[in-house]
Every structure is written in C-alpha cells, then in structure tokens.
Structure 1
C-alpha cells in the first residue's frame, strides 16, 4: 500500500533525532505516517514515536504488513506518554529462537517458563511464533526479555552460569552426572507412588490411570534414551573434542554424521516432553484434589520437580550441546578436505 503524506512542522517532529509525536496528527494519518517514516529508515536506524496511549495495535499492523524486520522497544509506558523505539533490522539479520535466547541467558528461560513457552523441545521457534501458538501478547514477552538484557548489563558481577562457554566434554559430564543420574534415581520412586495413588484413588479420579500409564511410558523411553546417549552419542561427541585438541587421529564414524543420532534424540525429547505436558494438563497444573492423601501430594511434587529438571536437561542438549557438536563436526570435516 502506498501513502502520500504531507508533514507539518511541530515541536515534536524531529528529523535529526528521528522522533515523531503522533498525537499532533489526525487519527487517519497516524499509522500511514509511521509506515512512511519506517520505510525511510536505513537498516540499523531507528524511529521513536511518542503517543498518549499504548501503540500496541501498530506493532501487529507493522508485523503483518512489513514482516519480522524490526525491533520494538518500549522506552516509556504511561500514564501520560508511551514512547517506543522501532529499529529496522540489518539486512540478513535472523531472529534468535527461544532456545537460543535461553541458551545465551538462562534468565530468559525463566520468562519463557512464566508464560508456558516451551524453550527446550519447542526451542526452534521464534518468540513471535511461540507467543502466537500460545495466544500470548508478544509485546509483553519481548518487553520482559528486553528488561532482562538491561538487568544483565547492570549486574555483570551476578551473572548465572554460562553453559555456552563450557567445553563440550565437560558439559556432557555435567549433563550425565546432574540430569541423567537424577532421572535414574527419581523415576523408580515416581513409578512407585504413581501405582500406589492409582490403586487407592483411581476409582474416584479416572485421570490417574492415564497418568500412571504415561509415567510408565516415560520410564521406558528415557531408560532407552539415556543409554543411547551415554553409549553412542556422547562418546562420539567427546571424540570430536579429542580430534579438535589433536589428541587422536581423525576417523570415520559408522552413522555418517552426528546429525542422525541428534535428530533421533531430539525426537525422543519431544515425545517425553509431550507426555509430561499431558500429565500437567490432567492434573490441572498439579492441583491436588480435596481428598488427596500424603502419597498423592508426594506424587505431584515429584512429577513437577521431574518436569522442571527435564526442561533444563533438554535445554542443555537441544539448545547448547547439539548445535555446538554439529558445528564442531562440520569444521573438522572441512579441515580434512
């Protein structure tokens, strides 16, 4: 759509700072004027708009008509003024996925968790795609992510652990010792409580049958899954590290590429994640019924803790370990050519 706009001088229309006060414009000219000003921006340049109400509808219109080519940042949010800086992305810039955002700053994982956004199994989606799928206000989520960046810059001395900086072999050992061992220790207890609670309360709470079946399925799937990682995939990734460090000679693996087992592991992660999401839905977010006994409460507590641990477990693998292993393998093969 083409617009023809005549600009009138006013105190808040500033070419040098690229600030536009839309309150001085006629209502029918507000969005067209902003679109013209945005289209005039060079990649990396920004436009700040001043308004007397939240311009959120503009965000959705700009996204719909121009696509994901801008960064939207609230500078002020009422009660008198709303100020938003709209930056045109550099050409070729790709939007980070929720998994990448969580990998680069674990604080953002907590924001995704708050809104029920899957950053582990569903970590390849963009923030906009994830919010659309959940029916969540994307501007609110992006505002909190921007606030996390500001908080991170202001508190460099209190940063959380940056797993992306760890050596791959050390990261693997951490995953096995922290998360694999937790799964192996906790699942037998969860199965025992699940069977007990179903036996005692199953007639009054029919969902317990499905929960018990899902727990058994999770146990069967993860038992096989952890074994494949510990006996096949993880040792191979460690050999890649050894090749990089020139500790061993290059060799040919028998499964073609690390991509094949990684794809298998990611598929299995998604299946177990779906089982746990179903359990959360069946339990109404682990809300205990009025007639729940102590074992009922322990079961729900175990399940919620297990889900929490598995999210971090899968995040470390899907969003950090696996992409870095793929990059390392590609670099080693390129060097061999």
Structure 2
C-alpha cells in the first residue's frame, strides 16, 4: 500500500496503454514518456507494462506502507526519501513509513514512480491506465488526491537492489548519438510527411522551416502549437479518419495539433505529418512554452532509431537481471 501525501492535479496511474479499442472510440492513454516507464519497471523487477505513477504537477509525495523497491525516472531533478536526496534513474529500497518527495524538475515535464509489484488497481480493457476523458481506469478514473491509498502487487519474490541503489544511464545521455540536442533552444522532433502533406504549398515548407511553440492549451490529448499559421492550397472537405499519437493535424486556424497519449480516435483535419514513434517520449517531456522544430525524417531513419532504443532497453534489462542474480547468490 502507498498513501498520497501531497499532489497537484492531473497526476495519475498509467502503464503502457490499452491499444486495440480505437474502433469503438477508446483512446489508448498510457504514459506520455513510455521509455521512462519501461526503464523504471525494469529497474524494480516488474514487467515493462506494470502500472506506475505519472507525475506532471509538482510537488508530489507519497508514503510507503511496506518495505519495497522503487525507482523515479523521466524528469530531471533528484527525488528525496525522508529528506535524503537520491539519484533519478536508480532503484532503491524504501522502508515502511518512509516518504518519497518529488520537487518541480529543472527543465523536463514528467516524472514516473515505479514500485515493486506495480500498482494493484483494476485492469480495464487490458490496461490499468487512467483515461481522464472517459473517467475510467487507474485510480477510479481520476487523478490522485491527498489521502488516496493505492494497493501494490505482490513483490515477495523480487530480488533486492544494492544498498546504494541500482542506476542506469538515462536515455538522453546513453542515446545522445541517436537523439539530437536542442538547436538554438528548440527541440528537434523527427516526423514523416502525412496523408495530406501534398495539400500544403511548397512541399509544406512553412511547416518544416519554422519554430513552433507549445501552447498553454495543450494537454495529454494533444499539443496545440503556436506559430505562423499554415494553410492548404485549397479548402478540402474530408471525412473523419483514424488518429493515433504523433499525428499532426492542421485545423482551419492553421496552427497544428500534435496528438498525444490520450489522442482522439478520429478526426477530419488534414494530416501534414506524423512524429516518429521513438521521438514521442521526448515530446512528452516538453513543457508548455517549449519550442519545437520538426525535422523531415524517413522510414529507414525511424527504424534505425527504434533499433537503437531496443538495444538500450535490452542492455538495461540484462544488466539489471545480472546484478539481481548476483545479489540473490550472495544472500
């Protein structure tokens, strides 16, 4: 059991989402930074898709009701356990009664708390993720409030972690050759031309060449971008079509919307581009007011990035399991 001691709005239970139900109008939901959630779960010995906590409003704190293993991944900034600063991207053991605190991170948007055994909330359509728009899943379909108590899954057979923690190199550092740095303060986001890209003049130059800003009207459903409006060459009446996270639509006002984890399941706005899947975690860590530049990518590049991320995750899993086996043998 854990108890929520302090929280802001929109902090929720998430896992890797509930794909497969978009045809009946149910979005996948899931972590905005799925890579951080996967690594956190590996560090504490869970399956990658175990339910954890997504924190996007700070400060946040919880009290552990039993001895367990936990890790904080995602946002930069040091988690605090009973006033002792710890490393992020590192698994530790917490004792019953200890309090974990997360303060506002310096630059990134979201932190993830993974706990041994995962959060034991009901599974709805194969997922424990919270759907805020549908008011189901997770913690009774709503964000956390102070005093909430959440059960944990069984972690009796999990291997211990070293007394000084079990850490990994965060993906932004380990994969710096794969994910480009900020350019003049703007986050580069790779995307492929979308289904209606040809409707925009000069091969979509106005979209690809300018710097966009994430508007305050953004949320887990979509990031609305502010910039010089872009318009198709002619008005086109379109039927609604399926939408997935990463799709970039252009409404009549000309300022694009990037669909995110709680993406609409269908929409009729022209699709100028789609963010490659492996860049979505970086976009999920971008704050309101952040600046973006879209880089025109290729399917081959998207596949190469996917393979690099897969190698990183597998290396984390292999190393973590090796350390835990060694600790078991020593016990």
Task: Give TM-score scaled by structure 2 length.
Answer: 0.19
Q: Which has the higher contact order (CA 8 A, sep 6+)?
A: 2
Task: Give TM-score scaled by structure 1 length.
Answer: 0.19
Which structure features the higher share of helix residues? 1
Larger Rg: 1
Which structure features the higher share of strand residues? 2
